[in-house]
A and B are shown apart, each in its own frame.
Chain A
Amino acid sequence: MNGFNFPMSPDSASNFAGEYDAIFAVLTILTIVFTLLVAGLVIFFAFRYREGTKVDRSRPIYEHLPLELTWTIIPLLLGLVVFFAGAHLFVRMRTPPKDAMDIYVVGKQWMWHAQHAPSGVRENNSLHVPVGKPVRLTMISQDVIHAFFIPEFRIQYHVVPGRYTTQWFTATKAGVYHLFCNMYCGTQHSEMGGYVYAMEPQDYAKWLAEGGNDVKPMSPEQRGAAAYNRLGCGNCHTDKDTERAPTLYGLMGKTRKFTDGSSLVADEDYIRKSIVDPYAHITAGYQNTMSVYNTVDEEEILNLVAYIKSLGTSSEPKANPTLAAGKGLQTSGANYTGKPRFTDGAITYDHPKMAGPHGRNLAVGAISSEEKEANR
């Protein structure tokens, strides 16, 4: 469908897609044929036998066993054929080959986390796989039920808490494909997803060898934005003051008043202190509801401070955490030059119109692929 940006079917990019599409086509033809048959007969009869027409209505039929058996048995047989075809495909989908490569997947509200088995390379909200090699996903959820769905591969399976589920596929075509969570899992269900990168084996090997690090060297601000996102700071500290927390936009250099009457000009030290010991100074008008982030290491705190400084001295948001994180995502294909199928913009979450609406922040867990850097 190149050049004609109005696709009617998903790309076929796995070993199941061919058989799948064949069954789908047969069913589509059956549907169209039977619908036209019924619709044609209904319209023809309704027209021919409408009240007042002079047509032969003598000897009407009320029961006709051979006819009844005909339209019982033909649909039944056709149905059984489709049943066996569907069952065959399903059994194939449920029986992974022994030599399949393992990738472990954890789903949680609202992100995917994957670990490539032999190498230990990890990634979030994306999945890099080699073309031509069977891949078995072993999946579990940390909270509610999710579903790991790659439309272009025609595969989907629930990711259930408390038990491992598996599915497998062999990618057959290099490219960038959709990864969706397809089991309703809460507020940001629709944003729990990312992209699947099917890569030529040598590209995949290279990707693994580089530790999956397909992210360009990041500035402290970018790393800080990722950490900000991952720690869920933005849940409370949004771009304006909320009842839960003051905004951090324009914090740097501002005078803060505290509940004990004292005040301070916000500087790097104050920001660091507020992260590791938030109760030391509580801004006037707020409660001591923030958790203590004393497990964040100093390097990350430095990044966070750099990021919060970058939020500017004006209240005008300079860099939205989501958008800043998106920059990393744009470069995440740095050593893999696959283009998304439909539009060049599809892969970049940070396109102004396609970014999270209203410049919203992603909540806990919904982290960008860039965060894998921070996570490692």
Chain B
Amino acid sequence: MSSIAGNITDLPEDQERKHYLNDGTSLKSWLTTGDHKRIAILYLISISFFFLLGGIFASMIRIELTSPSGVLMESETYNKIFSGHGIVMIFLFLVPSIPAVFGNFALPLMIGARDLAFPRLNLLSWYTYMLGGLLILTGLILGGTDSGWTFYAPYSSMYSHGTVALTLTGIFVAGFSSIFTGINFIVTVHKMRAPGMTWFRLPLFVWAMYATSVIIILGTPVVAITLALIMVERVTGIGIFSPELGGDPVLFQHMFWFYSHPAVYIMILPSFGVISELIANFSRKRVFGYHFVAFSTLAIAGLGFLVWGHHMFVSSQSMYQSVVFSLISFLVAVPSAIKIFNWTATLYKGNIRLQTPMIYALCFLGLFTIGGLTGLFLASMGTDVHLTATYFVVAHFHYVMVGGALTGFLGALHYWWPKMTGRMYPDGIGKVNALLVFIGFTLTFMPQFIVGYMGMPRRYHYYYFAPEFQPYHIASSLGASVLALSFVIPGIYLTWSLFKGPKASANPWGAHGLEWETTSPPDSHNFHHIPVVTDEVYDFPGVEYAHPSHGKKKKKAKDAEGAPTSKETH
């Protein structure tokens, strides 16, 4: 590795070595920290809690649907449970998951910075998130919201009896934590890259974080305003969305999806970034078509803002409007396809280490491919008419959100775990569990595609009038129990690893990247000296660069060697 880092301190026994985890052990030192790594840990603990909560809701839904006329609860309760599942999983788990935990932890390390640009804003972001989470939790305890996570007006503003206002306030507040994180990342990437870390030497995870942050700061204010307007209508009776008060219910859907479709990319782009890291580092190879992958991320971020109307083909928007939205939706599928093919091509002639994080990455490729392609059924207007709001949609977005985003999250967790904790986990169990996630997931959601095509509407508590749906629901629930098990197992072995796991070296995976050049776990200030970057991204030693196009690039880089400049920096 040719970076002039010189950060690995060769202390003989680092039992006493100060690192970010033992640099102050009081609760106060954690709750008032400005250290991006500690805030990442705070976030990891909080989102794990909310993931558990959302998972419990999911289990209740799956148990309930094994029988056509319910098992556990009344319809009203069921409606609150599925709403709670959606709200908690989306706003409190998926949106913050990878950016707030792994972005926070790894982004400054990856670009060779000592921290994010605004450490206190970062801490405020966590507190804001916790306040939002607490409000949503209070809403759940006080009776829950039954309007679904989509809050369609006028149901949410005029008819729902649940704690809608409180929940909306919680989401409104939690939105600010995303915005704070987004601003922090953008400024950090622009201003705090180490010398020599040009834009095209950025790891693709950083590109993904950057694109995600742009979407967050453009989109989140819109949903905040939209939900605030629902609250205004609900609390004061000023007509905005409800026709009874002179409002327009379809306007709500436009405003809501203007954020909530890009929000899908807020959830999946970070995962793309993780997968790029994993594929490159475990294949010991530069990502194939680095520029294409980087620019496809930006293309998705841009086009993602122009497709929201594909949620509304049957909601009485103009037919011509639908045509345009459908066309752009097909276009946005292309950059995702580019990514999949580039990742696959990266494996070619690689030197592939099949360790736990890589198994997650390979599972991701399979699951996300299905998730993406089934999106075409819904982007195509004619086919969407029948499929929209059925279990086909439920299966599709779980393929993207669980098969994509959550698999990426688990891959990232297993990849950066040694760096975050300084401990290794048992790789064998990890690998088996990754396959268990894949199997459980497929068993859960594959039947939902079929039952959705057959016409099973989403958000249905009973289906005693359509008993032909039952076998698929039972299959899905069986799969869900495997999936649940596969989330419990990492909880056990990672906890074990935290206390008993073997010590991790600075670079246990043999990965390339600045975060692997500092100790595990890193010091509070990340690097003793700010590293100077002289090599290309994913530049693995011992790999030949014989391809002509790459040779040319390499030559250019060689010219610049020794005097690293920021010539590519804008």
Q: Please list the residues of chain A having a beta carbon within 8 angstroms of any beta carbon in chain B.
A: 5-10, 19-20, 23-24, 27, 30-31, 34-35, 38-39, 41-42, 45-46, 49-51, 56-64, 67-68, 71-72, 75-76, 79-80, 82-83, 85-94, 109, 143-145, 147, 149, 151-152, 154-158, 160-163, 165, 178, 180-191, 193, 341-343, 345-346, 349, 351, 353-358, 360
User: Which of A27, A163, A180, A360 makes the CB contact (< 8 A) with B457?
Assistant: A180
The 3 closest A-B pairs by CB, nearest first: A151-B455, A162-B243, A89-B382
Using A91-B319, A144-B154 as known contacts, say yes or no to A161 and B244 having CB atoms under 8 A apart.
yes
Residues 375-406 of B, flagged 1 when their CB comes within 8 A of A and 0 if not, give 01101111111101110000000000000000
CB distance from A33 to the nearest CB of B (A): 9
A184 to B86, CA, bound (A): 14
Expressed in whole angstroms, the Cα–Cα distance for A35 and B289 within the complex equals 21
B366 at the binding interface (Cβ < 8 Å):
yes
Contact (A90, B319) CB under 8 Å given A64-B289, A193-B465 = yes
Q: Are B79 and A86 in contact (CB under 8 A)?
A: no
Minimal beta-carbon separation of B439 from chain A (angstroms): 14
Asked if A160 contacts B462 (CB within 8 A), the reply is: no
Give 16 pairs: A residue, B residue, CB < 8 Å, sorted on A. Answer: A31-B370, A31-B374, A41-B347, A42-B365, A50-B353, A51-B353, A62-B286, A63-B289, A64-B345, A87-B326, A93-B385, A144-B159, A154-B385, A156-B314, A156-B386, A190-B461
CB of B322 within 8 A of chain A?
A: yes
Query: Complex formed: what's the CA distance from A56 to B195 in Å?
Result: 36
Q: Which of B242, B455, B544 contacts A60 (CB 8 A)?
A: B544
Contact A87 B385 (CB under 8 A): no
Which residue in B362, B384, B389, B455 is a CB contact (below 8 Å) of A183?
A: B389
B544 and A357 within 8 A (CB): no
Q: Contact at B352–A50, with CB atoms within 8 Å?
A: yes
Is the CB–CB distance between A62 and B468 below 8 Å? no
Residues of B within 8 A of A (CB): 68-70, 74-76, 79, 146-148, 150, 152, 154-155, 158-160, 242-244, 248-250, 283, 285-286, 288-292, 313-316, 319, 322-323, 326-327, 330-331, 333-334, 337-338, 340-342, 344-345, 347-354, 362, 365-366, 369-370, 373-374, 376-377, 379-386, 388-390, 450, 453-455, 457-468, 471, 543-547, 549-550
* A6–B292 alpha-carbon span in the complex (Å): 45
Q: Is A19 a contact of B382 with CB atoms below 8 Å?
A: yes
Cross-chain contact A163 with B243 (CB below 8 angstroms): yes
Chain B residues, Cβ within 8 Å of A92:
382
Cβ contact within 8 Å between A27 and B383: yes
A343 to B469, CA, bound (A): 12
B365 contact set on A, CB distance < 8 A: 38-39, 42
Which of A7, A71, A187 sits near B76, CB closer than 8 Å? A187
Chain A residues closer than 8 Å to B543, beta-carbon distance:
60
Partner of A45, one of B155, B337, B342, B344: B344
Check A60/B547 contact, CB under 8 A, given A46-B347, A79-B333, A190-B463: yes
CB proximity of B104 to chain A, nearest CB, Å? 30
The distance from the CB of A161 to the nearest CB of chain B, in whole angstroms, is 5
Contacts A158-B315, A191-B462 given; indicate if A61 touches B547 (C-beta within 8 A). yes
Q: In the complex, A56 Cα to B544 Cα: how many Å?
A: 12
Closest residue of B by beta carbon distance from A45: B347
A183 partner residues in chain B, CB cutoff 8 A: 152, 389
A47 CB, min distance to chain B CBs, angstroms? 9
B291 CB contacts on chain A under 8 angstroms: 63
Nearest-neighbor residue (CB-CB) of B550 within chain A: A62
CB <8 Å contact, B314 and A184: no
Given contacts A27-B377, A38-B366, A144-B159, contact A187 B146 (CB under 8 A): yes
Are B366 and A6 interface neighbours, CB within 8 A? no
Q: Which of B74, B250, B373, B384 contacts A31 (CB 8 A)?
A: B373
Q: In the complex, which residues of chain A have a beta carbon less than 8 angstroms from the beta carbon of B248?
A: 162
A187 to chain B, nearest CB (A): 5
**A190 vs B457: C-alpha distance when bound (angstroms):** 8
Given A10-B453, A145-B155, A151-B455, A59:B547 Cβ within 8 A: yes
A69 to B529, CA, bound (A): 42
| Known contacts A24-B383, A185-B155, A186-B155; A163/B316 CB under 8 A | yes
What distance in Å separates the Cβ of A37 from its nearest Cβ neighbour in chain B?
A: 9
Question: Does the CB pair B288–A147 fall under 8 Å?
Answer: no
Bound Cα distance A349, B465 (Å): 7
A94 CA to B457 CA, complexed, in Å: 22
A93 and B380 alpha carbons, distance in the complex (Å)? 13
Contact of A38 among B369, B380, B459 (CB under 8 A): B369
A46 touches B455 (CB 8 A): no
Q: How far is the CB of B78 from chain A (nearest CB, A)?
A: 8
Q: How far is the CB of A61 from chain B (nearest CB, A)?
A: 5
* Closest-CB distance, A322 to chain B (whole angstroms): 12
A354, B69: Cβ atoms closer than 8 Å: yes
> Is B373 a contact partner of A83 (Cβ separation < 8 A)?
no
Contact B351 A57 (CB under 8 A): yes
Q: Is the CB of B377 within 8 A of A24?
A: yes
With A34-B369, A180-B457 already in contact, the answer to whether A7 and B468 are too (CB < 8 A) is: yes
Whether the Cβ atoms of B463 and A10 lie closer than 8 Å is: no
Q: Is the CB of A184 within 8 A of B348?
A: no
- Cα distance, A63 to B158, chains bound together (Å): 56
Closest A residue to B296 by CB, please name it: A72
Which of B242, B289, B545 is A68 in contact with, Cβ under 8 Å? B289
Q: Which A residues lie within 8 Å of B362 (CB)?
A: 42, 46
Q: Which residues in A have their C-beta under 8 angstroms from that of B468?
A: 5, 7, 341-343, 346
The answer to whether B326 and A49 have CB atoms under 8 Å apart is: no
Question: Does B453 contact A24, Cβ atoms closer than 8 Å?
Answer: yes
User: Which residue of A50, A181, A355 is within 8 Å of B464 (Cβ)?
Assistant: A355
In the complex, what residues of B have CB within 8 A of residue A351's CB?
464
- Which residues from chain B contact A151 at a C-beta distance below 8 Å? 386, 390, 454-455
Least distance between A41 CB and chain B CB atoms (Å): 5
Is there contact, CB below 8 Å, between B369 and A62? Answer: no
Return B496 CB to nearest CB of chain A, in Å. Answer: 27
Choose among B290, B459, B543 the residue with the greatest number of A CB atoms under 10 Å from its CB: B459
Using Cβ atoms and an 8 Å threshold, which residues of chain B touch A157? Answer: 314, 316, 385
A61-B342 Cα distance, complex, nearest whole Å: 11
The answer to whether B381 touches A51, judged by C-beta atoms less than 8 angstroms apart, is: no
Contacts of B382 in A (CB 8 A): 19-20, 23, 85-90, 92-93
Task: Report the nearest B residue to A65, measured CB to CB.
Answer: B549
* B313 partner residues in chain A, CB cutoff 8 A: 90
CB pair A45 B338 closer than 8 Å: no
- Measured CA separation A57–B384 after assembly (Å): 45
Q: Which residues of B contact A161 (CB under 8 A)?
A: 154, 242-244, 249
Please determine whether A61 and B464 come into contact, CB atoms closer than 8 angstroms.
Answer: no
Among A8, A27, A158, A160, residue most surrounded by chain B Cβ atoms (within 10 Å): A158
| A62 near B549: Cβ-Cβ < 8 Å | yes
**Which of these, A41, A75, A88, A160, contacts B344 with CB under 8 Å?**
A41
Q: How near does chain B come to A51, taking the closest CB pair, in angstroms?
A: 5
Choose among B285, B351, B369, B454 the residue that contacts A8 (Cβ–Cβ < 8 A). B454
Contacts of B70 in A (CB 8 A): 357
Closest to B330 in A: A79
- Asked if B351 contacts A49 (CB within 8 A), the reply is yes
Cβ-defined contact, A38 with B338, below 8 A: no
State whether B323 touches A87 (Cβ < 8 A).
yes
Tell me whether B380 and A356 are in contact (CB under 8 A). no
Q: How far is the CA of A41 from the CA of B24 in the complex (A)?
A: 49
B549 closest partner in A (C-beta): A63
Most buried by A among B379, B457, B464: B457
CB distance A79 to B376 under 8 Å?
A: yes
In Å, the complex CA distance between A8 and B447 comes to: 10
Q: Which residues of A contact B366 (CB under 8 A)?
A: 35, 38-39, 42
Contacts of B342 in A (CB 8 A): 68
A contact residues around B315 at 8 Å (CB): 145, 158, 160
* Residues of chain B lying within 8 A (CB to CB) of residue A143: 154, 159
CA distance A61 to B390 in the complex (A): 43
Chain B residue numbers with a CB within 8 Å of A90 are: 313, 319, 322-323, 326, 381-382, 385
Whether B159 and A67, one on each chain, are in contact in the complex, defined by CB atoms closer than 8 angstroms, is: no
